[in-house]
Structure 1
Amino acid sequence: MLAMNRYPQEYVDACRREITAQVDAFRTLGSAPTVHDFEPMFFNNLLLRLEHHFVHRTRTLEKKDGNPLNEVRVVAMSLLSNGGVMGTDKAIRLDPATSVLKLRVGDPIALREADFLALSAAFFADLEAKFV
């Protein structure tokens, strides 16, 4: 697939609805201890799904300044290629102090619902500002 410079608003809205539906499904599980243990696995995987929907976005428009699009990209790559431990992308200036999740290189990635919701909201806002 070619790099994407624009996403139709309808596509972004459909992806947002799909992500929201999965969060809603997770919430129906309740608060049992097993759900608490399952939560990071679920939200780590949901972050991968979010990244996959927009994986072909062009880096020129995305920029490399540590924005939420960059953060999702680096967290997803860390989950897939770094054993679930926060890594780096030498082309991206991701500063933990100004990032949404505040993850530092070497931190284990174990997203909770609040983490995912904060990052996905920032991701969609940045995506719509740059790609819609």
Structure 2
Amino acid sequence: MLSINTYTQDYIDECRARVHSQLAVYQALVAAARQQTATNETPLNAAIDSFEPVFFNNMILMLDYMFVHRSRTMEKKDGNPLNEVRLLCNALLTNNGKMSADKTVKLDPAKSLLKVKVGDEIKLNEADFLRIF
């Protein structure tokens, strides 16, 4: 597929709705699980804590894929949030979930949304995903 320089507002709205739908399902699942908790919350909280980064790492992959054909010219290489998403996804898919350096993108962790540094393990939580979404 050729690179895309613009997306229709309808497409953007559909993507946004898809993400909100996934978030709502996650939030409902966590809320329902917490309501079913007996006196010992430790196993349930550990299960939710284990599930959360898996879910939100996959959500960032889905978000990136929705716009995977975006033009690199449009995206630029100045360390913006689009670059950050691309680098997070590259780390998840090609570097065993650890952030790696990219010679083509000038991403300064101190100025990025999630502050992930080279070598950090990518373990997104709900707040991280919402910040970058």
* Residue 89 (structure 1) shift: 2.0
Q: How much identity, in percent, do the aligned residues show?
A: 52
Counterpart Cα distance in 2 of 1:106 and 1:54: 26
Conserved 8 A contact 1:29-1:35 = no
Report whether the alignment pairs 1:18 with 2:18: yes
2:69 counterpart of 1:69: no
The answer to whether residue 102 in structure 2 is matched with residue 94 in structure 1 is no
Task: Name the counterpart of 1:114.
Answer: 127
> Aligned letter for 1:100?
L
Aligned to 2:39: none
CA drift of 1:73 comes to 0.4
Q: Report deviation, 1:88.
A: 2.3
Runs of 4+ in 1 over 4 A off after TM superposition: none
Matched position secondary structure for 1:76? helix
How many residues are matched? 120
RMSD: 0.8
Instruction: Give the 3-state SS of the residue equivalent to 1:43 in structure 2.
Output: helix
Scaled by the length of structure 1, the TM-score of the pair is 0.88
Higher relative contact order (CA 8 A, sep 6+): 1
| Matched position secondary structure for 2:88 | helix
How far 1:99 sits from its partner (Å)?
0.3
Rg (Cα) greater in structure:
2
**What TM-score do you get using the length of structure 2 for normalisation?**
0.88
Quote the residue 1:5 is aligned against.
Answer: 5
When structure 1 is superposed on structure 2, of 28-37 and 68-77 the one drifting more is 28-37
- Where structure 2 has 5 or more consecutive residues not aligned to the other structure, the ranges are 35-43
The answer for unaligned runs of 5 or more in structure 1 is 121-132
Q: Is the 8 A contact 1:84 1:108 kept in 2?
A: yes
Residue pairs, 1:43-58, within 5 angstroms: 43-58=56-71
What is the Cα deviation at residue 36 of structure 1? 1.9
